Structure formats: C-alpha cells, structure tokens
C-alpha cells in the first residue's frame, strides 16, 4: 500500500493503486479450466505452450489444444474482464533450457519464435504472452534474452497496431 500526502489534511491518505491479481493454470493440473474462480483474478496464465527446438516455433501439444483453445472463453464466463496470457516454456530441464538458449542466439530463430507465438496467441484468443525460460545461464544468454524481449515487444506492438 502506498502513502500519498493529502493537500487538504496533515494526515497522509492511504491509497491502494490498481493492482494485478494473477495466477497460473498448469495444463497438467488436476483442476479443469472450468474450476478456476476467475472472479478472483485480473490475469490468468495458461501454461504451458512448447518451444519446438527444431523449428524454433511455439506449439501447443495435441493433448492441450482443446483446453487452450477454449481457455479464454471458459474463464471469461465468470469474469468477462479477466485477461489471459499464453505462457511458453516452463521448467522442463536441460533440453528446454538448451532450446531457449539456441532460439534466442540468432535473429532469424527469434523471429520464428516471435511470429509463431503471436499467431498462436491470436488463434487461441489469448490477450497476451508470457515466457518462462528457466533461466539464461550466462552473460551471453542474458544478452540474447534481452534481444528477444526487445524484438518480441516491438513485434507485439506492431501486430496490435495492424490488427486493431
């Protein structure tokens, strides 16, 4: 809670800024998407889409396709204003870490990742995207991660401008 001074009173006025209440729903969970009480949240993350290490494209496994494609509509039945994000990655061990490191190391593979993530999010009615790369392991990977985030943000903004 932040304290903002009131000009009409010598006593500080306590103000609660608009806050974000977010949670992840994991596709391996025992809970169905319809079990989520989305009225408790401003944002819900649907986890996890996958990074294909051969193509550098984001995919949704066939086992998750039906749940991911209806995720937004399902949670918005209880809370029409909740925003949903497609989360990519997850722990996954050394193979997932290596896939992210490899993808982020080249501009061409970052573009494939970025373009496919935006298309997948749009096709499945998500409001945004999230990356769960655990974790860049060294200074070079961190620099590549920074490049990925900068390029991703620019691509998302450009897509939003063009699509409305």
Just list the catalytic residues. Answer: 134
Q: Is the dihedral of CA 94, 97, 103, 105 positive or negative?
A: negative
Gyration radius of the chain over CA positions: 19
The DSSP code for 105 is T
Q: What is the dihedral of CA 109, 111, 114, 115, to 10 degrees?
A: -120
Tell me the sheet residues that pair with 4.
13
Sign of the four-CA dihedral 159, 123, 125, 68: negative
Instruction: Using alpha carbons, select from 115, 127, 125 the residue that is nearest to residue 158.
Output: 115
């Amino acid at each position: 809670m932040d304290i903002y001074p009131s000009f009409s009173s010598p006593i500080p006025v306590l103000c609660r800024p608009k806050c974000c209440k977010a949670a992840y729903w994991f596709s391996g969970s025992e809970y169905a998407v319809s079990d989520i009480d989305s009225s408790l949240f401003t944002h819900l993350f649907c986890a996890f889409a996958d990074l294909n290490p051969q193509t550098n494209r984001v995919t949704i496994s066939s086992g998750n396709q039906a749940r991911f494609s209806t995720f937004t509509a399902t949670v918005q039945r209880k809370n029409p204003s909740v925003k949903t994000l497609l989360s990519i990655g997850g722990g996954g061990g050394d193979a997932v870490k290596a896939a992210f490191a490899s993808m982020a190391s080249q501009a061409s593979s970052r573009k494939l990742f970025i373009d496919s993530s935006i298309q997948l999010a749009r096709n499945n009615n998500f409001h945004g995207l999230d990356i769960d790369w655990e974790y860049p392991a060294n200074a070079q990977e961190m620099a590549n991660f920074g490049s990925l985030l900068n390029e991703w943000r620019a691509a998302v903004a450009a897509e939003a401008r063009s699509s409305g």
